[in-house]
Amino acid sequence: MGNDANRIVIVGAGHAGGSAAAFLRQFGWTGGIALIGTETHLPYQRPPLSKGWLKGETKLAELELRPADFYKSNDIDVRLSTSVTAIDRAAQTVTLDKGEALGYSRLILATGSKLRALPVPGMDLAPILELRTIVDADKIRASLSPGCRLVIVGGGYVGLEVAASARALGAEVTVIEREMRLLARVASAALSDYVLAYHRGKGVAIELGASVAAIEGADGRVRGVRLADGRTFPADVVLVGIGATGQDALARAAGIACSDGVKVDAAARSSDPLIYAIGDCANRSMTTYWRDVRLESVPNAVEQAKQAAADICHKPVPLAEVPWFWSDQFEMRLQMAGLAFDVERTVVRGSPAEGKFAVFHLRHDGCVQAVEAVNMTPEYMGGRVMIGKRTVVDPVKLADMTIPIKQLMT
Ligand code: FAD
């Protein structure tokens, strides 16, 4: 088992890469599998990093996708602390940072996404942190203490989740967001407004339309964050969370088609038929939305891992599911499904004042295109089914809480 002629090499031992290795065995792949990852940990889940892990409530074994035994008993050659530095498509090899060349019959790129850097003076001060890995999360936890002042640059999901966890740890938190609302790229205005009021109610200071000009400090230590309008917010710790781009450098260098991620089809195949790309690093065409999209979510990583493994093992490739996502902040559970493209109207069901509502996004023909639910799982589940079935709903009935959501799903 495991010679170059029938070896699958997976680059990136994260959620997508780890899942792909497992699906390959599940679907009957008997050849070699090499799973190569830069990090020192076995594949693990990132969502708890900003939530339970940061608060010290989650154990390592709960983070790991599978225990170490799984890889051993399934003959998966896991190489941690190892990076792939180049792909030679003609020779069907990848080069490892330790110099070795590893042959592949199929290559799966699962390299994730790359955090955007904040291009301002003062980034050499400490501690200026980011959050992608366990190591990053541990650094954040170690630098937070009751009363310490944390300034978070970026009001996206990760920034807001860290804000909530840091408040629970007793930190004073300020979120600086460049746009005029939180979650501007990924949520409706109704949800943004709710989240803003909710976080402020929990003692998080939030500045909108605020652009960072510099990080200020003395003796190498952070002292504050200065905005373009001249105001400075005192800080002991700074966290930068301003989004990410698809980690497609290897594929680009190898001449594979890329555009904010590796371009792939419905079976996760890239422009090279022997090379697949899955998870955060992949940019796929979603015919339901007539768009190419790059999603950053666990369900997306698992779905594409399954698609690639099925295709390699000559099994039917599962159709794309309705995209879904969740976020936990304080006691608030947000659940989203669908993508709000080409939306003509939104309908709010439930009560934002009571912290229990859902925003439904409808197309011009009344089809449900997306749903965002706050502490309202039945509405989220119902919305997800409606999106999948392309259900046309009456907006008046949808807003009427006396009509059960189930009744509107048919
Ligand atoms: P990753 O899990 O990032 O794995 C990529 C791996 O590839 C990394 O380990 C990287 O080191 C490695 N790598 C990169 N280049 C190379 C190379 N050249 N050689 C070898 N290895 C390489 N999603 C949700 O759905 N819900 C949530 O609540 C949620 N919360 C999140 C909270 C945080 C703090 C973060 C960071 C993410 C969160 N996400 C959430 C997103 C989700 O975790 C990602 O979408 C998912 O991990 C993507 O899986 P992936 O395998 O594509 O990438």
Domain ranges of the chain: 7-114+245-312, 128-242, 331-408
Give the CA diameter of the chain.
66
Closest CA to ligand 1's atom 31: 47
Closest CA to ligand 1's atom 11: 38
Q: Is the pLDDT of residue 5 over 90?
A: no
Residue from 302, 258, 303 nearest 281 by CA: 258
Of 36, 46, 384, the one to substitute when testing ligand 1's pocket (max ligand atoms within 8 A of C-beta) is: 46
> Does any ligand 1 atom lie closer than 6 A to the CB of residue 58?
no
Closest CA to ligand 1's atom 19: 83
Q: Are 3 and 28 in contact (CB under 8 A)?
A: no
Q: Are 303 and 318 in contact (CB under 8 A)?
A: yes
Going from the Cα of 369 to the center of ligand 1, the distance in angstroms, rounded, reads 26
Burial class (CB in 10 A: 0-12, 13-18, 19+), 68: exposed
d(CA 192, CA 181): 6
CATH of region 128-242: 3.50.50.60
Residue 389, pLDDT score? 93
Give the total residue count for the chain.
410
Going from the Cα of 14 to the center of ligand 1, the distance in angstroms, rounded, reads 6
Q: Residue 77: which pLDDT band, with cuts at 50, 70 and 90? A: very high
Going from the Cα of 158 to the center of ligand 1, the distance in angstroms, rounded, reads 12
The pLDDT tens digits for 315-325 are 999 999 999 99
Closest CA to ligand 1's atom 34: 50
> Does any ligand 1 atom lie closer than 6 A to the CB of residue 19?
no
Q: Give long-range contacts, CB 8 A cutoff, 24+ apart: 47-51.
A: 47/298, 47/326, 49/131, 49/133, 49/134, 49/136, 49/137, 50/131, 50/137, 50/158, 50/161, 50/162, 50/165, 51/161, 51/164, 51/165, 51/328
Of 256, 298, 335, the one to substitute when testing ligand 1's pocket (max ligand atoms within 8 A of C-beta) is: 298
Going from the Cα of 281 to the center of ligand 1, the distance in angstroms, rounded, reads 9
Q: Which of 4-8, 40-44, 317-321, 332-336 has the lowest mean pLDDT?
A: 4-8
List of residues 6+ apart from 138 with CB closer than 8 A: none
The pLDDT tens digits for 224-250 are 999 999 999 999 999 999 999 999 999
d(CA 182, CA 195): 8
> Does any ligand 1 atom lie closer than 6 A to the CB of residue 83?
yes
Going from the Cα of 46 to the center of ligand 1, the distance in angstroms, rounded, reads 6
Tell me, yes or no, if the two domains 7-114+245-312 and 128-242 fold the same way.
yes
Level-2 CATH architecture, domain 7-114+245-312: 3-Layer(bba) Sandwich (3.50)
> Does any ligand 1 atom lie closer than 6 A to the CB of residue 102?
no
> Does any ligand 1 atom lie closer than 6 A to the CB of residue 38?
yes
What is the rounded average pLDDT of the residues 289-316? Answer: 96
Report the atom number in ligand 1 closest to the C-alpha of 17: 51
Residue 287, pLDDT score? 80
List the beta bridge partners of residue 284.
264, 293
The pLDDT tens digits for 111-139 are 999 999 999 999 999 999 999 999 999 99
State both tokens at 140.
């954040």
Residue 409, pLDDT score? 86
Mean pLDDT, rounded, of the chain:
96
Of 82, 111, 129, 380, the one to substitute when testing ligand 1's pocket (max ligand atoms within 8 A of C-beta) is: 111
The pLDDT tens digits for 155-196 are 999 999 999 999 999 999 999 999 999 999 899 999 999 999
Q: Is the pLDDT of residue 108 over 70?
A: yes
Residue 2, pLDDT score? 41
Closest CA to ligand 1's atom 9: 14
Q: Residue 98: which pLDDT band, with cuts at 50, 70 and 90? A: confident
Going from the Cα of 128 to the center of ligand 1, the distance in angstroms, rounded, reads 20
Residue 236, pLDDT score? 98
> Does any ligand 1 atom lie closer than 6 A to the CB of residue 111?
yes
Give the whole-number percent of the chain exceeding pLDDT 90: 96
Q: Residue 1: which pLDDT band, with cuts at 50, 70 and 90? A: very low
> Does any ligand 1 atom lie closer than 6 A to the CB of residue 207?
no
Q: Is the pLDDT of residue 62 over 60?
A: yes
Q: Are 299 and 321 in contact (CB under 8 A)?
A: yes
For the chain, the helix, strand and coil percentages under 3-state DSSP, each to the nearest 5: 25, 30, 40
* Domain 331-408 fold: Enolase-like; domain 1 (3.30.390)
* AA letter at 85: T
Residue 290, pLDDT score? 84
What phi and psi values does residue 319 have, to the nearest 5 degrees?
-70, 155
> Does any ligand 1 atom lie closer than 6 A to the CB of residue 175?
no
List the beta bridge partners of residue 324.
337
